Amino acid sequence: MNKFIPFALPDIGEQEIAEVVDSLRSGWLTTGPKTKRFEQDFAEFVGNGVEAIAVNSATSGLHLALEAIGIEPGDEVITTVHTFTATAEVIRYLGANPVFVDIDLTTLNIDVTKIEAAITSRTKAIMPVHFAGLACDMEAILQIAQKYQLKVIEDAAHAIPTTYQGQLIGSLNSDVTVYSFYATKTIATGEGGMLVTRNPEIAKRCRIMRLHGINRDAFDRYTATKPSWYYEIVAPGFKYNMTDIAASLGIHQLKKVWELQKQRKAIANRYDLELANLPLHLPAKPPNEDIHSWHLYVIRLDDSVKVSRNTFIAQMAAKGIGCSVHYIPLHLQPYWRDTYNLRTEQFPCASYAYERIVSLPIYTKMTESDQIRIIEIVKKNLNCSE
């Protein structure tokens, strides 16, 4: 019996382990020097003068970003249906409403030609998601945002490292970009996230709200004239800080970010080559020399394929291959569907894609023989093996 090939696996090395042990021995379990170092390293990695603020998840980071730009009850934020619920739920945390837009069938990213029609007098922001690690058409999105005076918050949970027109996601002209270090993402800290912005006011608000609304200016132990026990609460903040244990992982994961991307790209390239002549639609490639993070490798079964997507995944599982579906679009989820009366016909591309998409395993620890086995089983399940 062959071993089970999971859908995703983190790649934690000895340096990460040693750094975590060092933190445990140091006595700094929560936010401390390692978190600060991870923030500095991350800001340097993104470049273009951003500040980086470490949080305990991308969900927290997106919530902080929307709060900091002033999203209020009744406001509207435009986003995609083809995403994880976190993207939209943070809008509801603030009593605002997501306005969902359909996707482009090739890229599975938000269809930028449909954004303007979704804008109303209540629209305050656009939240693009760089699905699978392929950048959205940011030029179009930023142009629309400028024209209608909207903020742009990028959900970059999949996008480390991803570039758009040669620039890393996070260094563009949007207001805030948020990354995830959840266990299955391209760099992982178990749970964790990072928010980056070039706007000092947004950064300040996010730092305060990240930790109970404590204004740090009032209690900086090294420069303040106030005693070290003194602090001021200026808002009902959240508990969204990153621990030094997580930051210990992040520091070393970030050092390997390009090497990990290279390995993911090699896996994507082999899939592209070996699956090329099958009744499948392969993932869209970035234009020019841009970088895809290859967080996910999502194929779409052609209409000529006889087996259903569900049967295809069940057959893969029966042969020991873990596949998944990214995502069940939000308009089909009971909460979103019923709260906003969403209908399948409003999202023809996302609805069509959902019935046919399969995420194949992609992770850096996958061996060549594992991948060859996956490819053989895909061919067999499509009745295309020789």
Ligand X SMILES: *Cc1c(COP(=O)(O)O)cnc(C)c1O
The answer to whether the CB of 138 falls within 8 A of the CB of 117 is no
Q: How far is the CB of 183 from ligand X (least distance, A)?
A: 9
- Residue 258 to residues 85, 210, 254, Cα–Cα distance (Å): 28, 29, 8
Determine which one of 185, 255, 306, 365 is catalytic: 185
Identify which of residues 182 and 336 has a Cβ nearer to ligand X in the complex: 182
Identify which of residues 182 and 294 has a Cβ nearer to ligand X in the complex: 182
The tokens describing 138, both together, are 């940011």
Q: How far is the CB of 56 from ligand X (least distance, A)?
A: 8
Q: Is the peptide bond before 327 cis (omega within 30 degrees of 0)?
A: yes
Torsion on CA atoms 257, 261, 263, 268, rounded to nearest 10 = 160
Q: Which of 12, 50, 15 is nearest to 34 (CA)?
A: 15
Q: Which of 176, 161, 103, 160 is nearest to 137 (CA)?
A: 103
Contacts of 279 (CB under 8 A, 6+ apart): 301, 302, 304, 305, 382, 384
Identify which of residues 83 and 263 has a Cβ nearer to ligand X in the complex: 83
Q: Has 185 been annotated as catalytic?
A: yes
Q: What is the DSSP letter of 239?
A: B
The tokens describing 211, both together, are 């930790």
Cα separation, 298 vs 302, in Å, equals 13
* Residue given tokens 């620039």 in the structure block: 167
Q: How far is the CB of 191 from ligand X (least distance, A)?
A: 6
Q: How far is the CB of 190 from ligand X (least distance, A)?
A: 10
Identify which of residues 194 and 275 has a Cβ nearer to ligand X in the complex: 194
Identify which of residues 180 and 241 has a Cβ nearer to ligand X in the complex: 180
Cα separation, 142 vs 89, in Å, equals 23
Q: How far is the CB of 147 from ligand X (least distance, A)?
A: 26
Identify which of residues 197 and 381 has a Cβ nearer to ligand X in the complex: 197
Cα separation, 48 vs 198, in Å, equals 8
Q: How far is the CB of 98 from ligand X (least distance, A)?
A: 13
* Residue given tokens 């009745």 in the structure block: 383
Distance of CA 335 to the CA centre of its chain: 22
Residues that bind ligand X (CB under 6 A): 57-59, 83-84, 86-87, 129, 155, 157-158, 180, 182, 193
Contacts of 42 (CB under 8 A, 6+ apart): 52, 54, 194, 196, 250, 254
**Three-state DSSP state, 339:** helix
Q: How far is the CB of 373 from ligand X (least distance, A)?
A: 27
Identify which of residues 185 and 370 has a Cβ nearer to ligand X in the complex: 185
**Three-state DSSP state, 24:** helix
Residues carrying an active site annotation = 185
